[in-house]
Homo-oligomer: A and B are copies of this chain.
């Protein structure tokens, strides 16, 4: 595999506010995110040559399958160019971005859109939970019902308990992650939540599946995020040579025989991505990780090589991962505070990192950020994420 993509750039990013938006439709969310990304790139709808459209649950929640992107984007006239519908659980957005990057790297197109659109909120909450639950092997999941309403929260809770055993992490450190990310989210006008939340408030919120409490889990969200991807010549023409895609790596999961010493999907993706970018964990200035639950942020930092095994709680305790720290993690508020509209999440992470690299992140700006990394994971197979996605973006000094 070759993961370096030296001639691909992020020309424009845009996202809707994330949150429960009963008044919004999948179509209006997709239109709003697209308009924002096109505006940011300084281009018109007709300049786009193809769309890579991610969505995870609309089939089950609305009955629309097969041509979701064409339907969502019809109002913009984007049903006249190739629309490729992509699905990869919570990593659907990163998968769409990966395909967009590949298409431009191949020279097939000069300018394409990657978009993730999701409306999770639904009058029937159980329908939403059941839809989210299809990110596992549903035949196997039917064999055993867990403690929570979601197979995912049961899986995350079990992973977390195992992590606590091997790292000595306490429930309190997970609450500290949640409080940190709510604090970051307070600085993000597009975040669903965000505010001053105390560690004790997190600990005393409703128990979900031990040790997870409600405020340690990403909320149900609606939203869309979109990115215009271009080659170097087009980036130059548009004056958008600021943010380069230095690596784009997808993996899927499962480790043979559940061997602990074989790196998981995210760790494998990270190794490829760093090698491709010619960079290492110490070079990264700002990170967005997939904190679908608070402990996942710590586990991700270890998988990415930013902390040694079992050392992420100490890194967190040192203050390094807060805004103002050595390596701010989830400055956007992460999934916990920004929200988690499944297929939009991976692209929202890349929107945030683009703003960070351009110095446009306002009150949550990481000063002088040059190298940014996004980790997005999705679904679950027997012992690992079904999808691990790692992207590295860099600020171009020439730009």
Contacts and interface: CB of A to CB of B under 8 A. Distances in A.
Interface of A: 1-3, 5, 49-50, 56-57, 59-60, 62-68, 70-71, 74, 77-89, 92, 95, 98-99, 102-103, 105-109, 131, 134-139, 250-256, 378-379, 381, 386-387
A115 to B, nearest CB: 14
Given A83-B252, A84-B95, A251-B82, A59 B67 contact: no
B386 A253 contact: no
A67 B378 contact: yes
A84 B103 CA distance: 14
Contacts of A108: 1-3, 5, 102, 105
A340 to B, nearest CB: 14
Copy number in the complex reads: 2
A79 to B, nearest CB: 5
Interface-central residue, A3, A92, A386, by most chain B CB under 10 Å: A386
A54 B183 CA distance: 41
Given A102-B108, A108-B2, A70 B256 contact: no
Contacts of A60: 59-60, 63, 65
A253 B105 contact: no
Nearest to A54: B85
A266 to B, nearest CB: 13
A165 to B, nearest CB: 26
A388 to B, nearest CB: 9
A56 B65 contact: yes
B80 A67 contact: no
A252 B80 contact: yes
Contacts of A107: 2, 105-106
A256 B135 contact: no
Given A79-B381, A85-B95, 17 more contacts: A57-B66, A64-B139, A65-B134, A66-B87, A66-B89, A66-B134, A67-B88, A67-B136, A70-B379, A71-B137, A80-B255, A84-B88, A84-B99, A86-B86, A102-B102, A102-B108, A105-B106
